[in-house]
Amino acid sequence: MSCSITLKQISYKNSSNRLFENVNLNVGHEEKVAIVGANGVGKSTLIRIIAGLEHSYEGVLELFHNKIDSKKEYKKFRSDVGYLPQDVNDYFLCPVVIEDVMFNLRARGVDKEKAYCEALKILESLEISHLKDRTIFELSGGEQKIVAIASILSTEPKILLLDEPTNALDVNAEKRIVDILNGIKKSMIIVSHHKTFIDKLAPTVYTLNSTGLELN
Ligand SMILES: Nc1ncnc2c1ncn2[C@@H]1O[C@H](COP(=O)(O)OP(=O)(O)OP(=O)(O)O)[C@@H](O)[C@H]1O
C-alpha cells in the first residue's frame, strides 16, 4: 500500500507522565481514518506530532515513506500537510475571509489578481463565497471552521489533519462539513467525539488509549 502517513512505535511523555506508547498507524493514499478516545488521552497531541508541531516523542514518523527525524526534514513536507486545530481562533492570519484564503497563495508568489480568483474558486467550492468580504471574527463558529478549511485547501496539501472539525457545531453545520470533507480526495486523519459524524466520513476508526491505537 502507498502510505501517506506511517507511525511506528510512537510514544509520548509530557512533563508528568507517559500519555501513550506503542502507537502504530498506516494511512494510505486518499484514505480517511478517524481517531476517537477519552478526553485527555492524547489525540490532539498525536495529531500535533504528525503536524510537525510536537517534537519530543519517541518512535518513527514517516510521510510518504520518508523518515522524519528532524525539524529540517519535516520542513520538506510541511506544505503537504494541512492542519486544522481544535480551536481555530488563533488560526487566521488576516481579518477578512478572502484575504485569509489568499494569504498562502500570495506567500507562494501568486500575483494578487490570480490569488483572488483562486481564493474565490475555493470559497465557491465550499459554498461560502457570500462570506468573502466578512470579518472572520464576526462569523459563527461553523462558518469560521469552513473558512479555516478553505485557507488550508489553498495550500493544496496532500494530507489533512482535522482536530474536532465539528465541535460546537449544530446539526446543519456538521452535515455541511461532512459533505465538504467527503468531497475532498486526500489522506485524512480526523479526531472527533461525534460518532454519527465519523460514521458518515471515515471507514476506518481507531481508539487511542495509553497502550496504542485499537481498530474499532
Ligand atoms: N500545552 C499543554 N501543556 C501541558 N499539558 C498539556 C498541554 N496540552 C495538553 N496537555 C495535557 O496533555 C494531555 C493530553 O491532551 P490532549 O489535548 O492531547 O488530549 P485529547 O485526547 O485530545 O483530549 P480531548 O478529547 O479532551 O480534546 C492532557 O492531560 C492535557 O491536560
Model pLDDT for residues 33-77, shown as the tens digit of each residue: 999 999 999 999 999 999 999 999 999 999 999 999 999 999 999
Strands 159-163, 187-191: pairing is parallel
Q: 212: pLDDT confidence band, cut at 50, 70 and 90? A: very high
pLDDT the model gives residue 62: 97
- Read out DSSP for 39-53? TTSSHHHHHHHHTTS
pLDDT(168) > 80? no
Which grid coordinates are listed for 10?
A: 510512537
**ipTM confidence score:** 0.94
Q: What are phi and psi of 130, to 5 degrees?
A: -65, -15
Cβ atoms of 12 and 42 within 8 Å: the answer is yes
Which grid coordinates are listed for 200?
A: 458518515
CA 165 to CA 152: how far, in whole Å? 13
Going by alpha carbons, the residue nearest to atom 29 of ligand 1 is 40
Which grid coordinates are listed for 102?
A: 489568499
Cβ atoms of 98 and 120 within 8 Å: the answer is yes
CB atoms within 10 A of CB 87: 11
Q: To the nearest whole number, what is the mean pLDDT of the chain? A: 93
Kindly state the average pLDDT of the residues 137-160. 92
Percent of the chain with pLDDT over 90: 80
Cβ–ligand 1 contact at 39 (below 6 Å) = yes
> Which of 10, 13, 14, 49 is the pocket-test mutation for ligand 1 (most atoms within 8 Å of CB)?
14
Strands 57-63, 3-13: pairing is antiparallel
Percent of the chain with pLDDT over 70: 100
Torsion sign across C-alpha atoms 213, 50, 194, 184: negative
pLDDT(24) > 80? yes
148: CA distance to ligand 1 center in Å?
A: 22
3: CA distance to ligand 1 center in Å?
A: 27
Strands 204-209, 32-36: pairing is parallel
Cβ–ligand 1 contact at 44 (below 6 Å) = yes
Give 72-110 pLDDT, tens digit per residue.
Answer: 999 999 999 999 999 988 889 999 999 999 999 999 899
Going by alpha carbons, the residue nearest to atom 30 of ligand 1 is 40
Question: Could you tell me the residue range of the domain that residue 118 belongs to?
Answer: 3-215
Record the pTM. Answer: 0.93
Q: 211: pLDDT confidence band, cut at 50, 70 and 90? A: very high
**CA triple 55-73-184, angle to 5 deg:** 85
Q: 1: pLDDT confidence band, cut at 50, 70 and 90? A: low
The H or E element containing residue 146 is helix 141-153
Residue 9 Ramachandran class (φ > 0 left, ψ -120 to 50 alpha, else beta):
left
Kindly state the average pLDDT of the residues 10-18. 90
Residue 80 Ramachandran class (φ > 0 left, ψ -120 to 50 alpha, else beta):
alpha
The H or E element containing residue 159 is strand 159-163
Position in ligand 1 atom list of the atom nearest CA 47:
18
Kindly state the average pLDDT of the residues 7-32. 94
pLDDT(15) > 80? yes
Count of domains observed in the chain: 1
41: CA distance to ligand 1 center in Å?
A: 7
Q: What is the CATH number of the domain that holds 21?
A: 3.40.50.300
Cβ–ligand 1 contact at 4 (below 6 Å) = no
